[in-house]
A and B are shown apart, each in its own frame.
Chain A
């Protein structure tokens, strides 16, 4: 078994003439928590979308759990064991908490009925409860539609979704960008829980304190390219900022950016 849960080689994405992601060579060890930082438009979300099957890459290889993968869609990636909290919340406002957690992978009975197969509400509710307990997320009534919840509660639902399903890799794209202090603390607690449980994680974040609190390693993207790969012990906030702004470029990435 490979030491890496995820590896990308020369991962590249062009949107027409926009080179949003260029030759990203990235590795993630099992159980490791890595942060991706970088300015707006640096290509962080683009990177996430290429490895989660939301978009098809222009070129390059993605090796997940020891084997090359070609996800045709986000469901494909999820079935392989990658759970993602996207930057734009992938939640349906008019559905309740269990419905959102299980959207696209409902527990069902009478599967021979095809699209009209029957939902197993009880099983999904029980699993939802377990997921919420596991992450410490508190929701007044899980049967209410999430339209009536605060931004923090909704984000927690999105994250509880990743924790409800045993996954090999969790990816969060700016999970606390729109949250208040308390809500951010709760999300960070969930991330610590995932670390204790030995789950691998990629965290896209702008929050320097959060990154130094939570992760083992920091990757910096600038204008579509990886420009730094720093162990937390060997760096500090100022150093990371200089990579983000372009004052510095990692030795191994010299000539790339």
Chain B
């Protein structure tokens, strides 16, 4: 082997044997985390100036701790359910796709799953909201949970088949599913809410359970995205689909799986949401898809594909939670909050685009 090829671009390592720490990349999640801290600091300052209170810390000695635990809990419960959807949406976006259907899939799944979760008797009388006959009442809790996952999975599979095999752009395929699933939600009980779930079903979304489920799934999918072939191929497809295909990855089959997982997670979110609210309504999940996309985008997931992480989306979810809570805390109207969120989303995408350009210019 000859060693005469000492080029300028290759002179700073020896036979690939270096792990030059100074050449290591700065993880993008740290930037997102810094943004979260910055936003908290801004709210703390505004709170100290205008409210003489702290947003996240215990400033009134009401609690026996340094944090205002009640508000922290509200922040995280508030984002947990949409956060579960965002875990799936993150994977879809990493493949350079998009899923606009998740909010409507939540609506349809809520109606259908809840119909299998109803009790037979409400305070001694037959359940006035019963959708089906007696056979569907007082079923074991596993039935509505599986129905919910199944409906979500089916919707995701249809999205996936359309995107992967008929090459309909993800935007259009999932827009179609968004309208279709909302229609299903309204048709299911002709606009009537589905109520009175069994006690076992009501446990799923009670208290802090949505948060535990969200955190459990976030950790699970963080591991999957980083340590399994599924994760690697998801990034590869979003990064360079042609390269992925040439490397022998079955791209359509993989995309189908990604959209199915996203659908199943939306279905699960619907189960938790209806359990928490003890009722299902056809309008449930409205604009959840946009909030989930916002969490991912704010968390550094690139709409061009190939970049982003579950951790980033988790931090993105917290940013949205803190902003929502912060505006309530400052007693500012929800419209300001939406304006600020809108600006942050556009800013995050602009930043991503700028980073991509810079990376391309350097290479």
Q: Interface on A for B, CB 8 Å cutoff?
A: 54, 73-76, 78, 86, 88-95, 97, 99, 103-106, 108, 113, 115-119, 121, 128-129, 132-145, 147-154, 156, 180, 182-183, 185-186, 189, 192-193
Set of chain A residues within 8 Å of B228, measured between Cβ atoms: 113, 115-119
Which residues B230-266 have CB closer than 8 A to chain A? 230, 232-233, 235-236, 238-240, 242-249, 254, 257
- Residue of B227, B229, B362 with most partner-chain A CB within 10 A: B229
Point out the residues of chain B lying under 8 angstroms from A54, CB to CB: 246
Among B19, B224, B238, B307, the residue within 8 A (CB) of A141 is B19
B10 touches A92 (CB 8 A): no
User: Which residues from A are CB-within-8-Å of B236?
Assistant: 92, 95, 99, 103
- Supply 12 further A-B pairs (C-beta < 8 A) apart from A99-B232, A182-B10: A54-B246, A74-B247, A74-B248, A116-B228, A119-B227, A135-B1, A138-B10, A141-B18, A142-B19, A149-B9, A150-B9, A151-B363
- Bound together, the chains give a CA A220 to CA B235 distance in angstroms of 39
The size of the chain B interface, using a CB distance under 8 A, is 51
Contact A136 B359 (CB under 8 A): no
Instruction: Pick from B16, B245, B247: contact of A139, CB below 8 A.
Output: B16
Determine whether the beta carbon of B240 is less than 8 Å from that of A92.
yes
| Bound-complex Cα distance A149 to B362 (A) | 8
Whether A148 touches B362, Cβ cut-off 8 Å, given contacts A74-B246, A115-B230, is yes
A140 touches B20 (CB 8 A): yes
Q: What's the nearest-Cβ distance from chain B to residue A127, in Å?
A: 11
Given known contacts A137-B15, A145-B25, A152 and B9 CB-to-CB distance under 8 angstroms: yes
Q: Is the CB of A106 within 8 A of B248?
A: no
A116 touches B230 (CB 8 A): yes
A119 contacts B306, C-beta separation under 8 Å = no
Q: B199 to chain A: which residues have CB within 8 Å?
A: none
Taking the closest CB of chain A, its distance from the CB of B160, in whole angstroms, is 14
Known A-B contacts A94-B306, A152-B10; the reply to A185 vs B18 at CB < 8 A is no
Given known pairs A75-B248, A89-B243, A103-B249, the reply for A182 and B8 (CB within 8 Å) is yes
Return chain B residues, CB-CB under 8 Å to A151: 363
- Whether A183 pairs with B363 at a CB distance below 8 angstroms is no
List B residues at the A interface (Cβ < 8 Å).
1-20, 23-25, 224, 227-230, 232-233, 235-236, 238-240, 242-249, 254, 257, 306-307, 359-360, 362-363
| Residues of B contacting A141 in the complex (Cβ-Cβ under 8 angstroms) | 13, 18-20, 23-24
A143, B9: Cα distance in complex, Å: 17
Q: How far is the CB of B248 from chain A (nearest CB, A)?
A: 3
Q: 18 A-B contacts, Cβ less than 8 Å apart?
A: A90-B246, A90-B247, A91-B243, A92-B239, A92-B306, A97-B16, A99-B232, A103-B232, A103-B247, A104-B249, A113-B228, A119-B229, A138-B13, A139-B18, A144-B25, A148-B363, A149-B9, A183-B7
Of B2, B246, B306, B307, chain A has the most CB atoms within 10 Å of the CB of B246
Contact present for B359 and A133 (CB under 8 Å): no
A76 CA / B247 CA spacing, docked (Å): 10
The residue from B1, B257, B306 contacting A193, defined by CB atoms under 8 A apart: B1
Closest Cβ–Cβ distance, residue A77 to chain B (whole Å): 9
A138 to chain B, nearest CB (A): 4
Whether the Cβ atoms of A106 and B229 lie closer than 8 Å is yes
State the Cβ distance, A170 to closest chain B Cβ, in Å: 15
Partner of A143, one of B15, B24, B249: B24
Whole-angstrom distance between the alpha carbons of A108 and B8 in the complex?
Answer: 36
Query: Which residues of chain B are within 8 angstroms of A121 by Cβ–Cβ distance?
Result: 227
Using A94-B306, A106-B229, A183-B7 as known contacts, say yes or no to A143 and B247 having CB atoms under 8 A apart.
no
A90/B242 in contact, CB under 8 A: yes
Q: How far is the CA of A116 from the CA of B224 in the complex (A)?
A: 7
Which residues of B sit under 8 angstroms from A74, Cβ to Cβ? 245-248
The reply to whether B23 and A140 contact each other, CB–CB distance below 8 Å, is: yes
Contact of B239 among A95, A106, A134 (CB under 8 A): A95
CA distance A164 to B28 in the complex (A): 31
A84 vs chain B, min Cβ distance (A): 8
**Contact B240–A185 (Cβ < 8 Å):** no
Residues on B with C-beta less than 8 A from A149 are 9, 363
A186 CB contact (under 8 Å) in B5, B24, B247: B5
* Distance in angstroms between the alpha carbons of A30 and B239 in the assembled complex: 36
> Which B residue sits closest to A196, measured CB to CB?
B1
- Give Cα A89 to B18, complex, Å: 24
The 6 closest A-B pairs by CB, nearest first: A75-B248, A132-B16, A104-B247, A182-B7, A186-B5, A92-B239
Q: In the complex the two chains form, is A189's CB within 8 Å of B5's CB? A: yes
For A145, give the chain B residue with the smallest CB separation. B25
In the bound complex, CA of A103 to CA of B244 (Å): 7
Once the chains bind, are B1 and A134 in contact (CB under 8 Å)? yes
A93-B239, A143-B24 given as contacts; is B4 within 8 A of A185 (CB)? yes
Given contacts A140-B13, A143-B19, A186-B10, contact A117 B229 (CB under 8 A): yes
CA A128 to CA B243, docked complex, whole Å = 19
Q: What chain A residues lie within 8 Å of B227 (beta carbons)?
A: 118-119, 121
8 Å CB contact of B7 from A93, A97, A152 = A152
Known: A106-B229, A137-B15. A92 touches B244 (CB 8 A): yes
Give B26 Cβ to nearest chain A Cβ, in Å: 11
